[in-house]
Structure 1
Amino acid sequence: MAGTFEVYEDKAGKFRFRLKAGNGQVIATGEAYESKASAMNGVESVRKNAADATVDDQT
């Protein structure tokens, strides 16, 4: 099963998103946004950029 982005409003009235794996575990969360449209732009940015992202191991 594929992952799912959830867009939601937090207790402070800000919009956020989280990415859940197929098993329901949260694997990524977005920052707080003032509008739902901005949160959706954040989702699209992750979709666009994550496929080609590299790992920068700074340990």
Structure 2
Amino acid sequence: MAGKFEVYEDKAGKYRFRLKAGNGEIIAVGEAYETKASALKGVESVKNNAAEAKVVDMTAAAA
């Protein structure tokens, strides 16, 4: 099963999204948005930018 984005309303009435892997594990979460439309734009931004994003290791163990 493929992963999926879920858009939901939190307890404070803000809209959020989370990305779930095929096994149902949450692997990423978005910030709180004032509107559902803004949350959906956040999903699209992640979808558009993630494929080209570099991984930057910020740990002290980076070589």
How many Å apart are 1:2 and its aligned residue?
1.3
Counterparts of 1:1-40 in structure 2 under 5 Å? 1-40=1-40
Scaled by the length of structure 1, what TM-score is found? 0.98
Large movers: runs of 4+ above 6 Å: none
1:21, distance to aligned residue in structure 2 (A):
0.1
Q: Distance in 1 between matches of 2:2 and 2:51?
A: 14
TM-score after normalising by structure 2: 0.92
Q: Secondary structure at the match of 2:58?
A: coil
Mark the structure with the bigger radius of gyration.
2
Q: CA RMSD in A?
A: 0.4
Which ranges of structure 1 fall in alignment gaps of 5 or more residues? none
Q: Which residue identity does 1:40 align to in structure 2?
A: L
Counterpart CA distance in 1 for 2:53 and 2:3 is: 17
